[in-house]
């Protein structure tokens, strides 16, 4: 862990501007933060009980999304082409290690379990959930990578980029709970379909009327898109785990994270092609098409299978990877089931 923290702190300070080096640094940074997220969430799972896990992870997600919004606002104070923001990022990562170093209590030990990734089994458990995570990676990954380019098509003002990204993150935070609570009461596929439908409509409207949007309307659009697109991953994860057997939770979490990661890697390349053909507004045309494809598949599943509204399912819990990189590990639940 100390090596991972060191790499994630040093990477922002290597400011030799070469394309190949920035590719390497982006890879190193992404790897380091993925490891950090997995360790943090595994640690929280070890400390939480089944009765408190929802509250713990809700607070964790709220804190994460809040600081992400604050991070976007740093663009208002420093020039992103200068060293200051990179130095701040490095310092924050280093400072974050201090509470861990000062921790007096014992380090949690995860239950030993051998896990084999089985994507075929994952799709048999819940094709809707697996494809929901893939669609979330395709859209959210593209948004994180190319939304600043989209805003730059309207204005070169860095402040507008900061406010747009902040509004999207806050919209995602506000959208988590309503959609999550609704998914606890109905077949979660209805919620996945609603999120895909709403994301498709926001995307198409942003593409059609992009040329006439004011900065205020642009910020509102960002919040609306984040409110429906970011929670899609969390609901898809919950739906997939509803149909899991005991002992499959870790395999499912890792598989869904892989599906999201594949989408997050491939999405920006396809979205950039859409932006080349349709202008900067092509980003939302691309996300709308992905959401339309997911909505069409969910409708197809409903037509071929009786809705599972009578099946019991577990309580919804926020999943950070819906907006970022990591997935949850249900170590306590696995241990408790083994004891039974």
Query: CA dist 151 to 29, 82, 157, 222, 284, Å?
Result: 24, 20, 9, 10, 12
How much of the chain, in percent, has pLDDT values that exceed 70? 70
pLDDT at 29 > cutoff 60: yes
Higher pLDDT, 17 or 107: 17
What gap in Å lies between CA 308 and CA 298, rounded to an integer?
13
* Helix (H) / strand (E) containing 117: none
Mean pLDDT of all residues in 9-35: 72
Residues 302, 270: Cα–Cα separation, whole Å: 29
CA distance 31 to 312: 36
Average pLDDT, stretch 139-150?
Answer: 91
Helices 231-242 and 127-152 cross at an angle (nearest 10°) of 170
User: Looking at the chain, which residues constitute the CATH 1.20.1250.20 domain(s)?
Assistant: 117-339
| Superfamily of chain region 117-339 | MFS general substrate transporter like domains (1.20.1250.20)
Q: Quick one: DSSP state of residue 316?
A: P
- Provide the mean pLDDT of the chain: 76
* Lowest mean pLDDT across 96-100, 102-106, 207-211: 102-106
3-state secondary structure of 78: coil
Unique residue bearing structure tokens 């360790």: 39
Long-range contacts formed by 304-307: CB under 8 A, 24+ apart: 307/187, 307/189, 307/190
Q: Report how far residue 276's alpha carbon sits from residue 45's, in angstroms, rounded to the nearest whole number.
A: 43
**Most confident among 147-156, 232-241, 275-284 (mean pLDDT):** 275-284
- Confidence at 195, pLDDT banded by 50, 70, 90: very high
Distance between CA atoms of residues 95 and 92, nearest Å:
5
Give me 109's structure tokens. 């030990």
The tens digit of pLDDT for each residue in 266-311 reads 999 999 999 999 888 999 999 999 999 999 999 998 887 654 444 4
Q: Residue 126, SS3?
A: coil
- Averaged pLDDT for residues 64-85: 74
Neighbouring residues of 200: CB distance < 8 A, sequence distance ≥ 6: 288, 291, 292, 295
């Amino acid at each position: 862990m100390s090596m991972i923290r060191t790499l994630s702190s040093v990477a922002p300070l290597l400011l030799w501007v070469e394309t190949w080096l920035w590719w390497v640094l982006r890879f190193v940074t992404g790897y380091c933060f993925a490891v950090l997220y997995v360790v943090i969430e595994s640690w929280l799972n070890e400390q939480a009980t089944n009765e408190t896990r929802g509250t713990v992870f809700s607070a964790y997600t709220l804190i994460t999304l809040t600081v992400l919004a604050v991070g976007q606002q740093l663009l208002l104070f420093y020039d992103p082409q200068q060293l200051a923001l990179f130095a701040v990022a490095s310092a924050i990562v280093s400072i974050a290690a201090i509470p861990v170093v000062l921790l007096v209590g014992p380090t949690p030990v995860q239950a030993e379990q051998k896990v084999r990734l089985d994507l075929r089994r994952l799709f048999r458990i819940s094709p809707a959930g697996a494809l929901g995570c893939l669609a979330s990676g395709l859209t959210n990954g593209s948004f994180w990578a190319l939304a600043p380019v989209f805003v730059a098509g309207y204005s070169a003002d860095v402040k507008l980029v900061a406010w747009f990204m902040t509004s999207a993150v806050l919209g995602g935070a506000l959208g988590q709970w309503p959609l999550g609570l609704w998914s606890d009461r109905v077949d979660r596929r209805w919620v996945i379909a609603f999120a895909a439908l709403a994301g498709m409509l926001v995307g198409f409207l942003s593409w059609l009327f992009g040329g006439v949007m004011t900065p205020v309307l642009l910020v509102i659009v960002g919040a609306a898109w984040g409110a429906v697109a970011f929670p899609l991953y969390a609901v898809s994860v919950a739906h997939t785990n509803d149909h899991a057997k005991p002992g499959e939770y870790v395999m499912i979490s890792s598989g869904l994270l892989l599906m999201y990661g594949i989408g997050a890697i491939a999405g920006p390349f396809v979205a950039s092609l859409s932006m080349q053909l349709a202008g900067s507004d092509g980003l939302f045309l691309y996300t709308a098409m992905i959401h339309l494809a997911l909505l069409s598949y969910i409708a197809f599943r409903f037509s071929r299978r009786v809705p599972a509204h009578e099946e019991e399912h577990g309580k919804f819990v926020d999943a950070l990877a819906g907006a970022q990189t990591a997935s949850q590990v249900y170590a306590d639940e696995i241990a408790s089931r083994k004891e039974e």
